[in-house]
């Protein structure tokens, strides 16, 4: 069940934040994220945490 949830999360991350390599763990930063209403954001590629700046 956990593998299905992880796969779903990785697929969702790819749709929401294009260009992220989910295999490379770390933080990716963008200046303009639609998920944050156009504000900067950071995404943890290991667990898909999204932080709006």
* Dihedral sign, Cα of residue 19, residue 9, residue 47, residue 31: positive
Answer with the residue of higher pLDDT: 51 or 3. Answer: 51
State the burial class of residue 3 (Cβ atoms within 10 Å of its Cβ: 0-12, 13-18, 19+).
Answer: exposed
Mean of pLDDT over the chain: 82
Mean pLDDT of 10-15: 75
pTM score of the predicted model: 0.50
**C-alpha R_g of the chain:** 11
pLDDT at 37: 93
């Amino acid at each position: 069940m956990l593998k299905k949830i992880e796969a779903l999360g990785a697929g969702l991350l790819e749709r929401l934040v294009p260009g992220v390599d989910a295999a490379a763990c770390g933080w990716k930063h963008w200046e303009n994220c639609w998920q944050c209403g156009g504000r900067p954001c950071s995404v943890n590629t290991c667990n898909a945490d999204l932080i709006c700046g």
